[in-house]
Amino acid sequence: MRVEVLFPEICNLSGDGMNIRYLHQCCPELEIVETGLKDRPAFLDGPVDLIYLGSATEKGLELMVEALAPHREALVERIEQGQLMLVTGNALDALGNYVTSDDGWHLDGLGILDTHAEYHMMDRHNSFFLGKFEGMDIVGFKSLFGHTHAAVAEEPLFAVEKGVGRCPGAMVEGFRHNNLLVTYLTGPLLVLNPPFTKWLLRQMGAPDTLAFEAAAMDNYQKRVAEFREPGRDYMY
């Protein structure tokens, strides 16, 4: 089984690198392929069971788009064929149509998702998130310069129970297209959500046993209960 981590030299903010570290600890037989910005992506030449893309700086988003743009059509084709791909944090914005920022910065995205982001550089958004995915509670954090504004037809990844969805007022978070799973949530997502990690392992065809399962579940249950407390506000 192979997991391809795209651009680890830049996609490593917000503890996102731990998503794959944890997945590997859960399933030590996974082969982790790290694809650098100047490398040819492994998914072009053979099967990979999961593609992962994590958070980056704004310059990192530019480099991410630049590196993937030549392979956009191939990536879209794989996604249509059911390629499992997980995208976390602001990497979501690289998959959208474009990003605008109040400091004049602009990024044309890959246009894989029909959405665009609006950044407010001196007004950072911080919140925690409690939501649902296939009956599971999902927890995570958002720490972003802005939000994504999507076309209604785009299928979401999570339903919002408490927190901010794709943008303030939206009751859905992230995007799901076949097996493309895209979310703004960090935490890291897989470490904070052991039931979701089990689900992901099953999608990959891997055994769904978790590393440090008791400690991970104890942590998860505590956080879910904490986030659900009525007096606790999701906005920082």
Partner 1 sequence: MGKLRFLFALWMAKLSIPALKITRHNGTDFPGSLAVKLCPDFLRYVGKPKTIVAVTGTNGKTTVSNMLTDVLEAQGHRVLGNRFGSNIASGISTAFIRNCDLLGRVRKCDIAVLEVDERSSPRIYPYVKPDFVVLTNLFRDSIMRNAHPYFIADILTRSIPATSKMILNADDLIACSVSPDNPRVYFGIDRLASDVTECINLIDDVRICPRCSGKLEYAYRRYHHIGKARCSQCGFASPESDYLATGVDFAAKSMAVRENGEDHPYSLITDSIFNVYNMVTVIATLRQLGYDHAAIADSLSRTTVAETRHSEEQVGKVRLIKQMSKEKNALAGSRAFDYIAGRPGRKELLLMMNCLGDTHHWSENTCWIFDADFEFLNHESIVQIVCAGARCRDYRLRLLMAGVPEEKILCVEDEFRAAEALHFTPGDDVYILYGTDSLALAYRVYDHMKELALQRSENKEVEA
Residue ranges that bind partner 1, judged by CB under 8 A = 9-10, 12-15, 17-18, 21-22, 25, 36-38, 57-59, 63, 121-122, 124, 126, 128, 141, 143, 145, 186-188, 191-192, 211-212, 215-216, 218-219, 222-223, 226-227, 231-236
160 within 8 A of 128, measured Cβ to Cβ: no
Smaller CB distance to partner 1: residue 172 or 211?
211
Residues 131-150 as b/e (b if ≥16 CB within 10 A, e otherwise) read bebeebbbbbbbbbbbbbeb
Q: How far is the CB of 144 from partner 1 (least distance, A)?
A: 9
Q: Which is nearer to partner 1, 11 or 180 (CB)?
A: 11
Q: Are 98 and 107 contacting, i.e. CB atoms less than 8 angstroms apart?
A: yes
128 or 158, CB closer to partner 1? 128
The tokens of 51 are what?
């593609």
CB of 177 to partner 1, least distance (A): 26
Specify the amino acid at residue 46.
G
Q: Which of 39, 107, 48 is nearest to 75 (CA)?
A: 48
**C-beta of 199 vs 212, nearer to partner 1:** 212
What type of residue sits at position 121? Answer: M
Q: Report the nearest approach of partner 1 to the CB of residue 151 (Å).
A: 27
Q: Where are the alpha helices (DSSP H) in the chain?
A: 17-26, 58-68, 72-80, 92-95, 189-192, 194-204, 213-228
Q: How far is the CB of 98 from partner 1 (least distance, A)?
A: 20
Nearer to partner 1, 43 or 145 (CB): 145
Q: How far is the CB of 80 from partner 1 (least distance, A)?
A: 30
